[in-house]
Structure formats: C-alpha cells, structure tokens
C-alpha cells in the first residue's frame, strides 16, 4: 500500500523534504541561471550543471511539489554516491545528467554505468535518494514485484550507514550494526520465504533500526548499551518482547540507534542525542551542526532521547524505527526529523527487556515516513494480536472531532528553546494555517481547547512528572541491571560509582551541555 506523505508543515500531499546536509553540497551557492530547467519538459532531457547550479536548482525545486519532479530528483542524485570519492577540482567540473529515468531498473543502472564509466556489479538497485524518499510500503511493493530483494535492501541500508554515520555527514545516529554476514543470512531466508509464497505481513523483509535501550538477543551480536560505557560489555538474556514481535513479523534489525545516554537520566542538562558510546547525534536537516547557545530545545537540536532512531530514518538508514518515550522522547526527535510518530497509550506495548525510566509513563513508540507505515508497525508491536490500525487510514477528516491548543501558550519555555528571529512566527503561522484547513474538512474543530497547564501541576516549584520519574527510576534501573546475564554494574549505586571513577580508556569524561536550564525529557 502506497501512502501519501506530509511535506514539511503544510497540508499538501507530497514527498518529504530532502535533508539539507544529505545534499553534500556547499551552501556557498552561485546565483547561476536556471535556464537549463527548460529542458525538463523537452524530449531530450540531457543538460549540464556545475555543482553550485545544481544545489541552487535542488533548493528551488524543494519549494515546489517534489512529487511532480521526482524523476528529476532521481537523476540529480545519480552521482550523489560518488561525491565522497571526488576531489575538490572534480567537484567543480560540470556534471552531465543523462536521463530522468527512475533508478530501480537494471536498464537505468546500466545507463548510469554507461554514462559514468562505473562497474554495474557495484551499484545497488537503490540509490541514496531512493533510501531517503521511499517508505516501507513502497519498498514492500518493489519486493512483491521482484524489483528488489531483502538482501539488496539490507545491503543498501548498511552501505548508507557506513557512508554517513561516522563518515560523510557524521550523523552518529547508529551505535552498532550486526555483522554483515548475519544480516545477509537472515535476509536470504526472508527472500526464500517470499519465493515460496510465505509472506509474514506488510513488513516482511523490511529493515528497521531500534533505540539502544531495547534489548536484542546476543545472537544478533549487538550489545545493548543505553549509550553508556558501563554497559559496553553487558549481555542481555534475550530479545525484548517487542524485538521478538518484530522478528516474528519478518522485520530485519539493521542497527541499534544512538540516544541521550540512559534515556536522559545521565544528567539534567545533557545535550539531546549525546551518549558516551555513540557521541553526538546531529540532524540531517541542519547544516553546521548543533549550536549550544540556543538552549536544549533550540532549533539546531535533534531532539531526544530517541535521537538516533529519528535521524537514522531521515537519513535513509532504514524506513522505520523504534524509540522509547517517557516525556517527549519519540515525538520530539521525530518532529525534528520530519517523520510520522506516535506515542502509544501506556501499556499498549510491552516494555519487557527494555531499559525503563518510569512505570507510570514509559512506552515504546514507532517512527516512519508515512502514516501507513506507522499503522503497520504499530500493528506488529502492540500486545493486542487482533489490532488492525491500517483500517483507520481513511484519508478523510470527515468523521474526526479535533481540538487545537493555543500556540502562544503551548510552546517550549524560552529557557529551554531560546527565541530565534522569525522561527517562532513561522511555526505559529504554519500551525494556524493547518488548523484553518482542517476546519474546512473535519466534523468538528474546537480552538483553543482548555487544558490544565503543566505549571499548574507543579509540586514545590518542580514539574510533578519529574518528581514521579525520579522516584520510580531507581528501582527500575536496579532491576534492569540485576537481570542482565553479564554486567560490570548491578545497581544504580554501582553505576554512579562507575561514572565517578577515574577516567577509563575510551570512556570520554566531558559531557556536552547546553547553555541553559530546562526540564529534561526522557
């Protein structure tokens, strides 16, 4: 099932924006003429562009409806995988775009090789732009039509991780991946099942990344670290229940995603997306990385604590991901990565085998590039085996009763996200425009709805949710550490002592912090 996707903040149905950093082109653009665009409609769409002109063209097209120019995007990305191997002099030379054919077919692969003098055996059927744009449903269609195999999908995802995680864009979204041979072995088995007509469901053979606070069986050869060197040699007893469900549904676990260490419980003011093991995850949409002077929730922050899960999907590492949330840890990073996400109701998804913060608020939640993928993934992970969330995807507001909060009241405090000229007003305008559009479509819209404000629930000046989390965390982390098959630490007290001990080899002692205070999110 192919599902429409929301483009940025607008309600127009189209493809999501490309991550800015993923373009791998300097922001120092020339104001070159875009007369070459006239060839888009010609019968012979072959034209020359230098890199600055190409960047200018892509930036301009991004303001339009990308769905109508997808073929152009595919061709513009023909050579994206070659950038890392080109010298500066080579990057400054004009590049020829030979065709606007989609990049899935063997014919288009041969065309690329004939044009660029490459070895077709080294090219995947999925280009970097395919990995950015295609959701799991679209990939499943290609798997069904035998235009793609799960082995090819897994290899393409692992190559994208190799190219952009610690190299290239240096996103630091992934802490670990399984050995390639193990992934290929599992993918081959799923491909054989497909050939035999045994497809387990809509996510059969689809890849996923999961937050490194969710336990994965030692046979997958990925340690569950929670981002801490204290757990770098730990061994969990087996798959968490949610991982068991994923594997039963034929989903390939492609990697463990970076997170704010211990789901933000390392400290009150750690930069979101930082862990000692994984380093600092950065957004694929932000050129220049994080600015620490804008607050922990500032516009350059990737959000957390399920940071790597969101950034990984936006960077094309996998089409879907899992995170955990106590207070914003799925929704915030997914929002910053232009993804669909949902925090399921408490208790809908088993937390067994996951490192938890709170018995009252913790959930495991899905992230995806489309609402359809979100529904399919939610179907797999919930306890209710008869759930059928895709049936609610009617593509209609007609029977919905919706409430909108006042954006001037319900926004991050200035201390958490320092005001930046223009950004807050732009967000407010987009929000109210969306409300106005939905008012014409929905059964009922109430604005503004009246809800108890968070500060009205404070206890002794502190957020009540923080008090509850602090109270519940100790016994939860003690239980988690105690039940590990192997671990250097077995309790919260031992973990604190481990962190306070003299510096260990490979364990960084400096923790990046934002220049502000504000409530933590887990």
Catalytic residues: 211, 305, 329
Q: Count the neighbouring beta carbons within 10 Å of the beta carbon of residue 34.
A: 13
Length of the chain: 522
Residue 4 CB burial class (10 angstroms; 0-12, 13-18, ≥19): middle
Distance between CA atoms of 496 and 230, rounded to whole angstroms? 10
Angle between helices 136-144 and 150-164 (to 10 degrees): 140
207-221: string of b/e by CB count within 10 Å (b at 16+)? bbbbbbbbbbbbebe
- Residue 138: which residues within 8 A CB-CB, separation 6 or more? 2
Query: What is the DSSP secondary structure assignment for residue 17, as one 8-state letter?
Result: P
DSSP code, position 19: P
Query: Coil, strand, or helix at residue 176?
Result: strand
Cis (ω within 30 of 0) for the bond into 248?
no
Q: What's the angle, vertex CA 293, arms to CA 290 and CA 299, rounded to 5?
A: 50
- What is the pairing mode between strands 363-368 and 320-325? antiparallel
- Whether 205 and 252 have beta carbons less than 8 Å apart is answered as yes
Query: What is the rounded distance in angstroms from the CA atom of residue 351 to the CA atom of residue 363?
Result: 7
Phi/psi of residue 207, nearest 5 degrees:
-90, 155
Q: What is the DSSP string of 420-466?
A: -TTHHHHHHHHHHHHHHHHHTTSSEEESSPP---GGGG-BTTB-HHH
Number of C-beta neighbours around residue 376 at 10 A: 27
Q: Please, are residues 264 and 484 in contact by the beta-carbon 8 Å criterion?
A: no
Helices (H), 239-370: 241-248, 307-314, 331-336
CA pair distance 171, 306, nearest whole angstrom: 14
CB atoms inside a 10 Å sphere around CB 49: 20
CA dist 339 and 293 (Å) reads 26
H/E/C letters for each residue in 249-285? CCCEEEEEECCCHHHHCCCCCECCCEECCCEECCCCC
């Amino acid at each position: 099932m192919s599902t429409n996707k929301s483009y940025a903040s607008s309600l127009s149905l189209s493809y999501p924006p490309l991550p800015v950093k993923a373009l791998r082109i300097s922001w120092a653009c020339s104001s070159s003429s875009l007369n070459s665009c006239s060839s888009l409609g010609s019968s012979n769409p072959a034209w020359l562009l230098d890199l600055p002109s190409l960047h200018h063209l892509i930036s301009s097209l991004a303001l339009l409806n990308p769905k109508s120019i997808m073929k152009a995007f595919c061709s513009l990305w023909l050579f994206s995988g070659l950038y890392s191997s080109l010298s500066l002099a080579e990057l400054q030379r004009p590049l020829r775009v030979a065709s606007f054919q989609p990049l899935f077919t063997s014919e288009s692969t041969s065309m690329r090789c004939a044009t660029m003098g490459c070895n077709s055996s080294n090219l995947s059927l999925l280009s970097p732009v395919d990995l950015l744009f295609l959701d799991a449903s679209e990939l499943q269609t290609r798997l069904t039509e035998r235009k793609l195999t799960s082995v090819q999908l897994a290899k393409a995802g692992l190559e994208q991780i190799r190219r952009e995680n610690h190299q290239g864009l240096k996103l630091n979204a992934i802490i670990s991946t399984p050995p390639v041979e193990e992934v290929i072995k599992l993918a081959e088995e799923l491909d054989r099942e497909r050939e035999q007509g045994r497809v387990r469901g809509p996510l059969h053979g689809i890849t996923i990344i999961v937050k490194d606070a969710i336990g994965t069986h030692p046979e997958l050869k990925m340690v569950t670290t929670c981002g801490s060197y204290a757990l770098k040699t730990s061994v969990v007893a087996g798959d968490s229940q949610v991982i068991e469900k994923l594997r039963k549904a034929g989903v390939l676990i492609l990697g463990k995603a970076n997170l704010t260490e211990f789901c933000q419980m390392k400290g009150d003011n750690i930069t979101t997306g930082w862990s000692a093991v994984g380093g600092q995850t950065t957004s694929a949409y932000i050129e220049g990385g994080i600015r620490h002077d804008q607050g922990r929730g500032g516009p350059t922050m990737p959000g957390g604590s399920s940071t790597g899960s969101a950034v990984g999907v936006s960077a094309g590492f996998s089409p879907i991901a899992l995170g955990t949330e106590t207070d914003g840890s799925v929704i915030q990073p997914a929002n910053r990565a232009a993804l669909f996400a949902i925090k399921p109701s408490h208790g809908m998804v088993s937390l067994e085998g996951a490192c938890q913060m709170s018995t009252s608020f913790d959930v495991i939640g899905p992230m995806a590039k489309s609402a359809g993928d979100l529904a399919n993934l939610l179907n797999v992970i919930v306890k209710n085996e008869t759930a059928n969330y895709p049936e609610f995807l009617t593509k209609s507001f007609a029977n919905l009763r919706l409430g909108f909060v006042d954006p001037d009241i319900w926004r991050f405090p200035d201390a958490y996200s320092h005001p930046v000229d223009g950004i807050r007003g732009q967000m407010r305008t987009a929000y109210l425009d969306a409300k106005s559009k939905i008012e014409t479509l929905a059964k009922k819209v109430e604005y503004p709805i009246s809800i108890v404000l968070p500060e009205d629930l404070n206890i002794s000046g502190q957020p009540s949710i923080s008090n509850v989390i602090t109270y519940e965390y100790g016994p939860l982390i003690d239980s988690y550490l105690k039940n590990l098959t192997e671990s250097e630490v077995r309790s919260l007290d031992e973990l604190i002592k481990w962190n306070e001990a003299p510096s260990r080899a490979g364990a960084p002692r400096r923790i990046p912090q934002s220049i502000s205070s504000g409530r933590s999110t887990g």
